[in-house]
């Protein structure tokens, strides 16, 4: 069994997430698929914003997915966003230590999308998270479905 299979097997739920934008910035959508491992029950949810960025939609998809959980849960997050995965697994601790600032070649700068990162940080404290990064648009069924839901969500805004 690979590490990914083990993390997935240990999880109570698998949360597939994706965000999409028509332009960056521009109309955007987010989506998640939540699968309860013991029962196989699956739920799909999506939403949109008129003026946003792709990264904001990636973050919002995870915020919405984690917010939908009613109790502390072991969650295996599957995403095509290295920004999202690295943010929560590598960068966030240093951001917090620096007062939500990131290192740049010109010194410390405010973390982009800080309100969403703070919300995710708070939500993550309630759950045991593991992450799997998948390549987008290469046929991963749930990732493709999340992308379809996110795109449909923002296209509804456009009429």
- Establish whether 115 is a catalytic residue: no
- Has 80 been annotated as catalytic? yes
Tell me, yes or no, if 10 is annotated catalytic. Answer: no
Could you confirm whether 18 is annotated as catalytic?
Answer: yes
* Catalytic hit among 28, 65, 76, 80: 80
Catalytic residue among 28, 29, 47, 58: 58
Is the distance from CB of 87 to CB of 117 less than 8 angstroms? yes
- 48, with CB counted inside 10 A (0-12, 13-18, 19+), is buried
Known catalytic residue at 121? no
Alpha-carbon distance of 34 to 107, in angstroms, equals 39
Of the candidates 50, 46, 38, the residue with the CA atom closest to the CA atom of residue 13: 38
Is 147 annotated as catalytic?
Answer: yes
- List the catalytic residue out of 19, 29, 65, 87: 19
Residue of 64, 132, 142, 147 marked active site? 147
Q: Which of 106, 137, 139, 159 is catalytic?
A: 137
**Catalytic hit among 18, 64, 132, 142:** 18
Backbone angles phi, psi at 83, to 5 degrees: -55, -50
| Residues annotated catalytic, as ranges | 18-19, 58, 80, 137, 147
């Amino acid at each position: 069994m690979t590490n990914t299979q083990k993390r997935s097997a240990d999880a109570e739920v698998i949360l597939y997430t994706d965000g999409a934008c028509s332009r960056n910035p521009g109309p955007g959508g987010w989506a998640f698929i939540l699968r309860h491992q013991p029962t196989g029950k699956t739920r799909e949810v999506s939403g949109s914003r008129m003026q946003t960025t792709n990264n904001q939609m990636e973050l919002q998809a995870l915020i919405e997915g984690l917010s939908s959980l009613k109790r502390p849960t072991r969650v295996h997050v599957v995403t095509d966003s290295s920004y999202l995965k690295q943010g929560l697994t590598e960068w966030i601790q240093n951001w917090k230590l620096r007062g939500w600032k990131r290192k740049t070649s010109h010194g410390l700068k405010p973390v982009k999308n800080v309100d969403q990162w703070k919300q995710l940080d708070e939500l993550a404290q309630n759950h045991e998270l593991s992450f799997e990064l998948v390549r987008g648009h290469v046929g991963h069924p749930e990732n493709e479905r999340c992308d379809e839901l996110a795109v449909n969500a923002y296209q509804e805004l456009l009429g």
